[in-house]
Structure 1
């Protein structure tokens, strides 16, 4: 340890008050010990630390070694040993006992005070450092978890990319150059596969098809979606259908381009002109149109449905269950699908559609079931009928008649009886509407109303609704 060279000259004469001030300012906790190691005086660097240690009264007259945790007592003995070398490491980590059995980590050093055998203990509070270290450990663990998830996601992406049956290319959106090509794309280009990476996508197609491919990329970049285009590869004149989508990676925009080869002499996914026009009409129709699989998972949806559901792109709807937006409490879609599977078609089914941003619309649905590749799929035409909603109109008429009848009783019966009558009228109206919506399916009506089946049967008897002699099954 290197001390001051000329302390008497540079520091001058210091009285006890000045020395005490310097000692208190130099540490968060300062202890003055006598030659036996008993605490005779102490100073805290902050009121908060003093409260942690229950103030000076809990310290004075006690041996310092009694105030530390058991695992730190050997360190205290070594620091106070009379034969301890002066050049030994002075700062030691100690766990100082605080109130209610807690311990506070301190970094302590001992210095002799004059010739009387007294010592001064300087203690620095290590809690801020410990908290910082703990946060660093938590941040490091969080980063490691994030890195692990990223590595797993990248592994899954690479595996899907390599195993995809369709030829897939990844392009730089700015220069439209090929960055990666999966094995299916390399097989498609054959001998020219080595020259694909780094080339502009348009250069891979015949000259007359390049404007259509470039227009496809421009439309996808600006609008997020575009119709597929037919083109021929420059090498071998292979006919393909080109589709594209965008995604972001590391702050940059990339294109994912799929090339679907068509069979020679067959149109592939290029539809006849009449069917293509029909699809364009459905896409631009003012009524919503949705196609789902057998489990009511959305396969495609037109712009009108996206507007009703308050979505911005079709990708937000694709793969989601239709009852995420359609129907009340998820019951109505099950009823609709049940009728659709039995009859093959449903007409003018009234329900509601809940948008992503909280908007609600009364809609009318016509649906049909068709077979596609041996599997059923469903098409839904969804029309916003607004104030023309027939269930809403009937409910409003019933409520008006009930209000008129109750109004005539004002002044004749107490208010609490009027409230009970109004509650009964509303309850009866809701039960009638639920039975109508479910086609008199009492189990579905009970689920829609949030009632048990037994409670629904009790209310049916109370209001004289339905066949009272029907078995409860």
Structure 2
């Protein structure tokens, strides 16, 4: 038996004789035509009776040990169900099935086609080595994973770009260098240029420029598109607001695009005069803040930042003035009404709210300007202290009626009523003590109070020269 087995091991396709030659001619022809890498003759019990190898690539993989072994024992455990399906095919040629053989050098992937070879139930299994295909699949999988990692990095970069673009306080617009149409605009640019929140792909760049300055705008972006050195231009936006405009050429999606920056100017004065004015406002000891027509903060000096306890101008730019000035819905609304009716306000008493809860009494002077339909409000805030009340003796009242009425608009009605109640209570206690010649028991009786309650109120108001034992 050993001699017979040796004659069947490691045969090439050209020497397929013996066991395979004993098969019917049509089956042997199909096996040879398949140009197989390996051919197995398996009996009706699923035992391998012959192994033929079609090339040297599979030598040394332990095929010598397969003869007289169950075919299912030569594959990985998870592939045995495929072997059972091919063995139970009922004598009808099935489809190609891939299994992994466990060999000394590792898993060997082979695709098999099982064909009946006789009436005794034996079959011929033709196998093709698919290691090259498996290696290609692994390379494809690694390439796909690399593409997914690159895609993830691109998405992260895009998210960071979008965050920086949208949160930048500077107004930035991206336009197509050829069509001059808007591609993107950050929120600051949309607010300044009045673009709203809709799509921009059909909006020309000149639509956000004043009609009288559109030729200059076209010349500016044209020079930037030609990669010429060009200083920032001074243009008016569609609402007449003057702005400093600059453009920079860059590549995007295999085309050219322009990054346009818009910097609104505080005043429409002579070119170059904005910097000295900014320095003067910054060094003012009084706080100054500039808002648009909707009372959104555009600029402020350092004194105003100190009042509202904010470290940087960007922390307040774009925020409503009502967050910092006056009581909600009262003072700023009254200021706005007076500015609308008279154009200016002087000596308006209110309070400024700091970021950490501090409140400062201020007097506000304000003015409104209208430059080609662009409404601007300027507010100057001077810190003032509460008017002290000089107390000369115990019988002088803490506040006069005039002083109490002056509190209207500066403190709440509840606080005014509480202070008025304290004033009346002190006056009544003093009158009772005078009437009873400082007899506290009698004073408590005519006031309708217990002696303990009267002593508590005397302590609170500092009346009656009480000792610590009283």
TM-score interval for Structure 1 and Structure 2 normalised by the shorter chain: 0.3 to 0.5
TM-score under structure 2 normalisation? 0.45
- Whose helix proportion is higher, 1 or 2? 1
TM-score under structure 1 normalisation? 0.45
Q: For the pair shown, which has the larger CA radius of gyration, 1 or 2?
A: 2
